[in-house]
Amino acid sequence: MNKPRVHIARRMADIEPFHVMDLLARARRLEAGGRRIVHLEIGEPGFPTPEPIMEAGRKALADGHTHYTPAVGLPALREAIAGFYRDRHGVDVSPERIIITPGASGALLLVMAVLLDPGDQVLMADPGYPCNRHFVRTFEGQAVAVPVGPDTAYQLTAEHLESRWGNRSVAAMVASPANPTGTLVPVETMKRMLDLTTARSGRLIVDEIYHGLVYDDEAVTALAHSRDVFVINSFSKYFGMTGWRLGWIVAPEDYVRAIDKLAQNLFLAAPTPAQHAALAAFRPETLEILDARREAFRERRDFLLPALRELGFGIPVTPEGAFYIYADSSVFDADSQRLADRLLEEAGVAVTPGLDFGHYRPEAHVRFAYTREIGELEEGVERLRRILD
């Protein structure tokens, strides 16, 4: 029997893997050979899931909570999230508008699938989280990458929306704080973008998955300004539940039924033990742990940021949240991929080259993640100093 032709959908040509995976694999090989590597590339905090959530997870198993939940999630968890918006943000969000998803990934997937017809455009910042454009492409939409730089804190602005919004534009997407830059969208800009998308019969999609991790101000949810926005959030980053795969959408009321229907068909439901565990995420004792961790992240940033600047990396905008620093590395090498290779080989320091975040000047940038303890950051900086000074 002959081998059949390999028919792979055209979209796959536009969907890139996480390029850092190759570098990570090389790092692992070096480690297997006995070398110690300092990991400044990993976008996953080293902290374990907070104990009250673990305890609730163990109790969920003990109580036999292993069957399907409703497609939109456990009613008690939707209520708990509504309570969090009320208590922490002073914002009234009906639990009916909250849809529990398998990670923020599942949330992005549902929102794009519900919004996009083939050819529909979504405006987004470049650099940005690469999966965003891939979600759009997956559903045959067109991601319009808007090059952004330090002048707008690497964020979209209302002016970008005005100049780039076209006939086929149906949504714009922002992340605040953003990956890879850690910058926020200022409140006034957010309001103007909400007004603008509404006026154009479009939608703003706001990724707030790093929302709990903001160091200088309290972050303001876009839900404080609008009921017509899509907000994406997650238990992964701030709540320390990466591997549990749990996130949520707050959707405008008119989209809830369509999203429910799609979630039934595409996911059935989010993982049940994770949903029960997450019920403990908003308890005071958990929030106390999380706020202590936020302080630890702040200290790491406050160490790493000036240290990298002193080494000569260009960081014109202070990252205010998440656990990333996006740095201009062109003074060391015009090719950030080559630089990342050299840093790994010569210094034993892993960083993420800009290529993983888009096509606007990736070769001039690398991303540092401060997901590891401060001692490791110190050693990383010391190693970098030895070869870059």
- Per CB under 8 A, 218 contacts a copy of itself: no
Residue (3 or 218) nearer to a copy of itself, CB: 3
Q: Check if the beta carbon of residue 327 is closer than 8 Å to that of residue 366.
A: yes
Burial 178-210 (b: 16+ CB within 10 A, else e): bbbbbbbbbeebbbbbbebbeeeebbbbbbbbb
- Per CB under 8 A, 102 contacts a copy of itself: yes
Rounded CA gap, 239 and 244, in Å?
Answer: 11
Q: How far is the CB of 151 from a copy of itself (least distance, A)?
A: 29
Amino acid, res. 384: L
Q: How far is the CB of 281 from a copy of itself (least distance, A)?
A: 13
Nearest to 226 by CA among 255, 203, 201, 257: 203
Task: Report DSSP state, residue 15.
Answer: P
Question: How far, CA to CA in Å, does 303 sit from each of 182, 296, 375, 382, 387?
Answer: 15, 11, 10, 12, 20
Among the residue ranges 60-68, 83-91, 211-219, 381-389, the one whose residues contact a copy of itself (CB under 8 A): 60-68
Q: Check if the beta carbon of residue 386 is closer than 8 Å to that of residue 320.
A: no
Collapsing DSSP to helix, strand or coil, 274 comes out as helix
Q: Check if the beta carbon of residue 327 is closer than 8 Å to that of residue 315.
A: yes
- Per CB under 8 A, 312 contacts a copy of itself: no
Indicate which single residue of 90, 147, 217, 268 sits in contact with a copy of itself (rule: CB under 8 A).
268
Q: How far is the CB of 136 from a copy of itself (least distance, A)?
A: 11
Q: Check if the beta carbon of residue 329 is closer than 8 Å to that of residue 384.
A: no
Q: How far is the CB of 265 from a copy of itself (least distance, A)?
A: 4
Q: How far is the CB of 289 from a copy of itself (least distance, A)?
A: 14
- Per CB under 8 A, 318 contacts a copy of itself: no
Indicate which single residue of 35, 216, 264, 385 sits in contact with a copy of itself (rule: CB under 8 A).
264
Q: How far is the CB of 312 from a copy of itself (least distance, A)?
A: 32
- Per CB under 8 A, 65 contacts a copy of itself: yes
Kindly tell me the burial class for residue 21, based on how many C-beta atoms sit within 10 Å of its own C-beta (0-12, 13-18, 19 or more).
exposed
- Per CB under 8 A, 369 contacts a copy of itself: no
In the region spanning residues 149 to 208, those forming contacts with a copy of itself, defined by CB under 8 A, are 170, 195, 197-199, 201-203
Rounded CA gap, 137 and 122, in Å?
Answer: 10
In the region spanning residues 271 to 290, those forming contacts with a copy of itself, defined by CB under 8 A, are 271-274
Asked whether the CA dihedral 203, 185, 177, 368 is positive or negative, the reply is: positive
Residue (34 or 201) nearer to a copy of itself, CB: 201
Q: How far is the CB of 138 from a copy of itself (least distance, A)?
A: 6
- Per CB under 8 A, 94 contacts a copy of itself: no
Number of residues this chain uses to bind a copy of itself (CB under 8 A): 83
In the region spanning residues 121 to 140, those forming contacts with a copy of itself, defined by CB under 8 A, are 130-131, 134-135, 138-140
Residue (21 or 334) nearer to a copy of itself, CB: 21
- Give 174's strand partners: 206
Residue (102 or 362) nearer to a copy of itself, CB: 102
Question: How far, CA to CA in Å, does 116 sit from each of 109, 161, 228?
Answer: 11, 18, 17
Indicate which single residue of 267, 311, 317, 342 sits in contact with a copy of itself (rule: CB under 8 A).
267
Residue (119 or 306) nearer to a copy of itself, CB: 119
- Per CB under 8 A, 114 contacts a copy of itself: yes
Indicate which single residue of 211, 245, 300, 383 sits in contact with a copy of itself (rule: CB under 8 A).
245
DSSP H helices, 227-283, are 256-266, 272-278
How crowded is residue 260: how many other Cβ atoms within 10 Å of its Cβ?
16
In the region spanning residues 15 to 54, those forming contacts with a copy of itself, defined by CB under 8 A, are 15-18, 21, 44, 48-49, 54
